[in-house]
Amino acid sequence: VTAILGISAFYHDSAATIVLDGKIVAAAQEERFTRIKHDSSFPNNAVEFVLKFSNLKLSDVDHIVFYEKPFLKFERL
């Protein structure tokens, strides 16, 4: 089983998801936990939730991916 943790953060609607063998098994937006609309903070609560929902520990995750190339905006300057 290949486990991937996907993270979207530092823009609006931060979120986390778990993909197991190419199938999304859990996803959550941080605002559902913090009650801050369009929360852009790092999705700590969402990550904790998707791991727990998937019965995984962080050490079980094979890959962690971020939703975009982090320095793309700087490269455009």
pLDDT of residue 75: 72
pTM: 0.86
pLDDT of residue 57: 98
Along the 77 residues of the chain, how does pLDDT read in single tens digits?
999 999 999 888 999 999 999 999 999 999 999 999 999 999 999 999 999 999 999 999 999 999 877 677 667 66
* List 1, 2, 8, 12, catalytic entry: 12
CATH architecture of 3-75: 2-Layer Sandwich (3.30)
User: Which phi and psi angles does 64 have, rounded to 5°?
Assistant: -120, 125
Distance CA 67, CA 73 (A): 14
> For the chain, which residues make up each domain, given as ranges?
3-75
User: Which phi and psi angles does 72 have, rounded to 5°?
Assistant: -55, -45
38 is catalytic: no
